[in-house]
Amino acid sequence: LVEETFTIDEVSEVLNGLQAVVHSEVESELINTAYTNVLLLRQLFAQAEKWYLKLQTDISELENRELLEQVAEFEKAEITSSNKKPILDVTKPKLAPLNEGGTAELLNKATNALDEKSKLEKALQDLQLDQGNQKDFIKAQDLSNLENTVAALKSEFQKTLNDKTENQKSLEENLATAKHDLLRVQEELHMAEKELEKKFQQTAAYRNMKEILTKKNDQIKDLRKRLAQYEPED
């Protein structure tokens, strides 16, 4: 391309060649970017699986127009800054491997963050375990105190029940004794009444009263006989 004038066919050939080169370079960059992202995601997923992390993805973010516009602005800024730099070589540099440069540093930072998170989770688990053991110890002490209290109440209740049983037994014995005493006193009273009646019958006043009653009965019988003689016959 050192001549000052070109034919249409020559210009078309040059443009087609440039288009093919640009298309090849862009495709290569896109493929390398995709491969790099895949490798980075694989390592992140491996770290997450190692530390039993739960990853969540939000597919709706891929359709967020605001985020897409921010990415587009970032790309424009990168393209503008790259255009301002002097072109030293027509061949664009390839992306650095995953284990070199900024990507490796980013991966190391992510790994360190995961390790730190794991240590914090372990410390939290140990703290929770200590608190759980302390709570279990307190619960065991409370349970022991409660059992002792229940045992003391049970013993006191049993003692009270035994005392009530003894008192009831004593009352029943006293009641039985009182009943026997009552029957004995009633029997003695009955015997005393009989004895008193017998003694009364043996006194002179009783005998005189009995003789008077006998004479009165004889007189009544004699009067009835006399009256019967004066009664008219039918």
Residue 164 domain-assigned (yes or no):
no
Whether 93 is in a domain gets the answer: yes
* pLDDT tens figures, 197-226: 777 767 777 778 888 888 888 888 888 888
Is 106 a member of any domain? yes
Give the DSSP per-residue string, the chain: --SS---HHHHHHHHHHHHHHHHHHHHHHHHHHHHHHHHHHHHHHHHHHHTT------GGGGG-HHHHHHHHHHHHHHHHHHHHS----SSPPPPPPTTSHHHHHHHHHHHHHHHHHHHHHHHHHHHHHHHHHHHHHHHHHHHHHHHHHHHHHHHHHHHHHHHHHHHHHHHHHHHHHHHHHHHHHHHHHHHHHHHHHHHHHTSHHHHHHHHHHHHHHHHHHHHHHHHHHHSPP-
pLDDT digits (tens, 9 = 90+) for 146-166: 888 888 888 888 888 888 888
How many domains would you assign to the chain? Answer: 1
In a domain, 61, yes or no: no
Mean residue pLDDT across the chain: 77
On whether residue 105 sits in a domain, the answer given is: yes
**114: in domain:** yes
On the question of pLDDT at 84 being above 80, the answer is no
Domain carrying residue 116:
8-53+67-131
Confidence category of residue 11, pLDDT binned at 50, 70, 90: confident
In a domain, 119, yes or no: yes
